[in-house]
Chain A
Amino acid sequence: MTTSDIAQGDKNARPLSLSGHVGFDSLPHQLVNKSTCQGFCFNILCIGETGIGKSTLMDTLFNTNFENFESSHFEPKVKLRAQTYDLQESNVRLKLTIVNTVGFGDQMNKQESYQHVVDYIDTQFESYLQEELKIKRSLHNYHDSRIHACLYFIAPSGHSLKSLDLVTMKKLDSKVNIIPVIAKADTISKSELHKFKIKIMSELVSNGVQIYQFPTDDETVSKINTAMNGILPFAVVGSSEEVKIGNKMVKARQYPWGVVQVENENHCDFVKLREMLICVNMEDLREQTHTRHYELYRRCKLEEMGFTDTNPESKPVSLQETYEAKRHEFLGDLQRREEEMRQMFVQRVKEKETELKEAERELQGKFEQLKRLHSEEKSKLDEKRRSLEDEINTFSKKKAATELLQGQSFNTNANLKKDKDRKKSPEMEAKDVNLTCDEATNQNHNCCFRNL
């Protein structure tokens, strides 16, 4: 055993044998304890046509009633509905999220069906990536919403996969662990089922779809996993109703010709699915999601943004340079845009100014005009007033004179009146020409004159 004296951090560890019981074999136990405290998280995505039995299977799988409601067949687009539940069994707490597709396969044109599913999965990866890249992050408290397992429900036609199935699975196989299941398997007979399974697997292989393979590297589970790999896809039947068989109540579907027991291995592969999905490989599914699918997404995303580990001469590029370059670019961009906006702003201001000046000038002109008109009118009115005043003056003078005359005529007798009238009347007549008002007095006088 060569001893290797090491400076900082070299990894030439030498194997050593212990001469007594140290006690670190409790480490797995400590780890498990810690995880039990924190709780586990598992997210399943169920893809399948409406009415194919996704919700029922989930109910059966987790032995509860998840309060689902039936969806209509008339959805215009494929939607995804996610619901989270807290389950507990003995001392294990599980935060289970079930994501169902709503309206998958119902549209007339199914070309965009898979896109929504892909987008949803990417969104979950993205939010995890953002959390990981934050400065102040809390990965331990983060509710991991990445999809760990995807159950793809194949319709039990007995012939082969639909083209929608193939296309969807091909798009999803690099993003999520796909486990295909044949739904409503109680409509297929055993021999048909066997042929159907072979047909499906060969189609998947020939189209290059990579479904999830149960891991076979750990000896404890490799045998069972290899066996199960050969039984894929699982033919399942789901039921939440119970039927009495013998003296036990079992989950089953009752038909006039018999009872299909869900947990009977001869009837369907439900128990195998539950084994594989939950009891044996749940941790592996989570790990694959994190180390394979998520890493792939992360790598693609970061490369898309322009970050690389090595530059074209394959020398390791420090992220600093890439980052600085990007930052320069970004800042330059910002500055340019700021400049543009500033220019636009200045221009607009100028335009507005000229407009306002125009308006001002116009207003000024109008004002002048109005002022002129006003002063003209004023002078006219002044003139009129003056003339009116003159007339009033003359009239009042006349009035006074007439009254005087009247007084005089009443005081003297008729002759005198006559004389004076005769004297006065030509004067009065002369004055009459100028008098416009007071005809009455004139008429009086004329009457008097006539009477005489």
Chain B
Amino acid sequence: MSEVAVPEMMMPPPAMPAAFQVEKPVPGPGMGDFSYVGIDAILEQMRRKAMKQGFELNIMVVGQSGLGKSTLMNTLFKSKVSRKSVQATSQEKIPKTIDIKSVSHDIEEKGVRMKLTVIDTPGFGDQINNENCWQPIMKFINAQYEQYLQEEININRKKRIPDSRVHCCIYFIPPTGHCLRPLDVEFMRRLSKVVNIVPVIAKADTLTLEERDFFKQKIREELRANGIDVYPQKEFDEDAEDRMINDKIREMIPFAVVGSDQEYQVNGRRLLGRKTKWGTIEVENIAHCEFAYLRDLLIRTHMENIKDITSSIHYEVYRVRRLNENNTAIPCPPCPMIPHFPLKPL
């Protein structure tokens, strides 16, 4: 057991969760090493608390119809989480305006409960005139921030404010193989300021590996040229270790994904894939597509980080803006006793 030291010491970098920590037994009375205080038992306590409370995750999928958004969601969470599976309607009419539809599910894995909300945006990019198609989406995202803000400034607040803020927005890029379209650039430019955007190349099984690499490079260049900061954002890297990991990810985005919720027999194993006459594309095989990277990024390694950035950066930016818009009307000397409460939305 290491000694307890009084002066500050450098924190060893956090390990990547290749293997999870072994659950420590709750120390009973009488079990004491003489130099052991037990401060690290707080990790166990936090874990217990987190398991009891459960987690919340809100993902928004944006892209034109037919790009495989629902299928990808189903593949990511290995169950029928998309709106289509929930809706009773079988017809697929393209709506006249953009709808925002969200569906919530309670899922559980190994004792960890999560409330997953998938927010779908049918009608995006499908009209003839697509100017301002990001507006309803912006409005929705800001409305969630507003709701959280109003809850937070209540006098009697709930013990745990329900978090409906959009944590992550997956943007589907059609696999043209050339470059980003003006619609893509415009949308991502506006929304990368309010929400974490993860761009993916949809239906990547239409691109060969060389085309894919070329396409990705073009996309990265265009993103850089337009000043679009997608997740993981460079400015939010916390330390050198973080930067190293995130740099590797940044070299791979956008992930070229293929979604599927059907299983096929490949080499004696049942795998998720797409069966065609010229072969079977295995979804979870990284030689075939980058679905596994996306899943690891979103769920296994960076989920907490995504939520963190949403709550501590994007939400705070919104809050500052909101609180300032009220105060510029009447110049009032800064008085520490009067808090700055925002107006109700107009």
Contact = CB atoms under 8 A, between A and B. Distances in A.
Interface of A: 3-37, 39-40, 61-64, 85-94, 130, 133-137, 139-140, 218, 220-221, 224, 248-251, 263, 265, 271-272, 274-275, 278-284, 287, 291, 295, 298-299, 302-303, 305, 307-309, 318-320, 322-323, 326-327, 330-331
A395 to B, nearest CB: 89
B27 to A, nearest CB: 5
B32 A16 contact: no
Contacts of A12: 104
A60 to B, nearest CB: 10
B178 interface: no
A275 B38 contact: yes
Contacts of B301: 26, 30
Interface of B: 1-2, 4-9, 11-12, 14-15, 17, 20-21, 26-30, 32, 34-43, 45-52, 55, 57, 76-81, 83, 86-88, 100-112, 114-115, 117, 140, 143-144, 147, 153-157, 159, 162, 164, 238, 272, 295-296, 299-305, 308, 312, 316, 319-320, 323-324, 327, 330, 332, 335-344
A326 B337 CA distance: 12
Contacts of B316: 136-137
Which 9 residue pairs are nearest across A and B when measured between Cβ atoms? A13-B104, A283-B45, A30-B304, A279-B38, A133-B339, A279-B41, A25-B110, A20-B78, A23-B300
A24 B112 contact: yes
B39 A8 contact: no
Given A27-B55, A30-B301, A31-B46, A88 B4 contact: yes
B79 A16 contact: yes
A224 B28 contact: yes
A13 B344 contact: no
Main secondary structure of the interface of B (DSSP, over half): loop
A130 B316 CA distance: 16
Contacts of B35: 63
A23 to B, nearest CB: 4
- Most A CB contacts (10 A, CB to CB) among B38, B57, B324, B330 go to B38
A331 B332 contact: yes
B25 to A, nearest CB: 10
B345 to A, nearest CB: 10
B112 A18 contact: no
Given A14-B106, A272-B29, 18 more contacts: A6-B101, A8-B102, A19-B79, A21-B109, A23-B299, A26-B17, A28-B46, A37-B11, A89-B39, A92-B43, A135-B319, A135-B327, A136-B320, A271-B30, A271-B32, A280-B27, A319-B153, A320-B342
A440 B75 CA distance: 149
A307 B39 contact: no
A91 B2 CA distance: 9
B62 to A, nearest CB: 15
Contact of A22 (B76, B87, B106): B76
Contacts of B45: 280-284
Contact of B155 (A88, A92, A303): A303
A451 B50 CA distance: 150
Contact of B107 (A18, A281, A323): A18
A27 B112 contact: yes
A4 B101 CA distance: 11
Contacts of A136: 316, 320
B7 A283 contact: no
A17 B113 CA distance: 11
Contact of A278 (B1, B26, B41, B238): B41
Contacts of A318: 343-344
Contacts of B144: 9
13 contacts: A9-B144, A19-B79, A22-B77, A26-B17, A26-B299, A30-B301, A40-B39, A89-B39, A89-B40, A93-B11, A94-B42, A299-B156, A309-B155
Contacts of B335: 330
- Most A CB contacts (10 A, CB to CB) among B50, B88, B147, B305 go to B50
A61 B77 contact: no
B37 A135 contact: no
Contacts of A10: 104
A77 B217 CA distance: 71
Contacts of B143: 8
A60 B300 CA distance: 41
A9 B43 CA distance: 33
B317 to A, nearest CB: 10
A214 to B, nearest CB: 12
A265 B88 CA distance: 65
Contact of B79 (A13, A17, A26): A17
Given A5-B87, A23-B296, A278-B37, A13 B105 contact: yes
Nearest to A248: B34
A285 to B, nearest CB: 10
A4 B4 CA distance: 54
Given A11-B104, A220-B26, A279-B38, A33 B17 contact: yes
Contacts of A3: 86-88
A94 B32 CA distance: 20
Nearest to A302: B155
B21 A85 contact: no
A21 B159 CA distance: 32
B47 A91 contact: no
Contacts of A265: 29-30
A187 B300 CA distance: 56
Contact of A250 (B21, B26, B34, B295): B34
A34 B305 contact: yes
Contacts of B159: 291
A171 B48 CA distance: 32
A361 to B, nearest CB: 45
B300 A24 contact: yes
A63 B104 contact: no
B41 A319 contact: no
Contacts of B28: 224
A370 B312 CA distance: 83
B219 to A, nearest CB: 27
Contacts of A40: 39, 42
Contacts of B305: 30, 34
B307 to A, nearest CB: 9
A224 B26 contact: yes
B48 A220 contact: yes
Contact of A39 (B11, B308, B336): B11
Contacts of B114: 24, 27
A298 to B, nearest CB: 8
A330 B52 CA distance: 46
A30 B106 contact: no
